[in-house]
Amino acid sequence: MKNFKHLLFATFVFCPIIVNAQMTANEEIQLIQAEFGMEKKTLIENYMDLSETDQPAFWHVYQAYEEERKAIARERILIANEYLDNYSTLDEEEADNLAKRTLSNSLKLTKLHAKYYKKFKKATNAMDAAKFMQVDDYIHSTIRNSLQEELPFIGEMD
Which residue did the predictor score with more confidence, 24 or 54?
54
**Greatest Cα-to-Cα distance within the chain, rounded to the nearest angstrom:** 58
- Structural domain includes residue 4: no
Total of domains in the chain: 1
Q: Give CA 45 to chain center in angstroms.
A: 17
Whole-prediction pTM value? 0.74
- Structural domain includes residue 86: yes
- Structural domain includes residue 136: yes
Is residue 125 classed as helix, strand or coil in its secondary structure? coil
Give pLDDT, residue 31: 56
- Structural domain includes residue 72: yes
Range of 96-100, 134-138, 147-151 with top mean pLDDT? 96-100
Per-residue pLDDT band at 12 (split at 50, 70, 90): very low
Domain that holds residue 120: 59-152
Q: Which amino acid is at 23?
A: M
- Structural domain includes residue 141: yes
